[in-house]
């Protein structure tokens, strides 16, 4: 998965508990993203980052916060998980303009499946 590691890969939690998902990359890419995938909706952007401590909201950011204190790590936090946040979460990076098939195209991690009971 192009040097992207997501953890945990699976998590079951209860409503009202905090949850943090971690995305780690090994290639020092500037842009990192968090998406959620739900049936019938495709992938929807939650938050993205364009550098250390530089983040912005996506189309479904309510109930989520992010932090990026190091280039390699992008954390997604659910302060108080709800059942509507049961989903599969994907982290992605955007490799720069280096040419080739994968240049400037989102590259995804393997996903983190979160279940909120």
Q: Which of 11, 22, 43, 72 binds other proteins (CB under 8 A)?
A: 43
The yes or no reply on residue 16 touching other proteins (CB under 8 A) is no
Contact status: 10 vs other proteins (CB under 8 A): no
CB closer to other proteins out of 15 and 104: 104
Q: Which of 53, 62, 98, 101 binds other proteins (CB under 8 A)?
A: 101
Cα-flanking dihedrals φ and ψ of residue 85, to 5°? -95, 5
Extract the runs of DSSP E, i.e. beta strands, from 14-106.
Answer: 19-25, 31-38, 42-51, 54-57, 64-70, 73-78, 87-94
47 Cβ partners below 8 Å, 6+ apart?
33, 34, 55, 56, 57, 58, 61, 64, 65, 66, 76
Single residue of 8, 12, 26, 50 touching other proteins by CB under 8 A = 50
Interaction of residue 45 with other proteins, rule CB under 8 A: yes
Q: Which residues bind other proteins (CB under 8 A)?
A: 1, 31, 35, 40-45, 48, 50, 90, 94, 101-102, 104-111
């Amino acid at each position: 998965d192009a040097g992207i590691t997501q953890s945990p890969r699976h998590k079951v939690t209860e409503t009202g508990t905090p949850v943090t998902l971690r995305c780690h990359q090994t290639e020092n890419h500037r842009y990192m993203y968090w998406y959620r995938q739900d049936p019938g909706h495709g992938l929807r952007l939650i938050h993205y980052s364009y550098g250390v401590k530089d983040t912005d909201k996506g189309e479904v950011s309510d109930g989520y916060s992010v932090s990026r204190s190091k280039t390699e790590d992008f954390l997604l936090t659910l302060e108080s998980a709800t059942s509507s946040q049961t989903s599969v979460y994907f982290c992605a990076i955007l490799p720069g303009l280096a040419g080739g098939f994968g240049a400037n195209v989102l590259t995804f991690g393997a996903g983190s499946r979160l279940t909120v009971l």
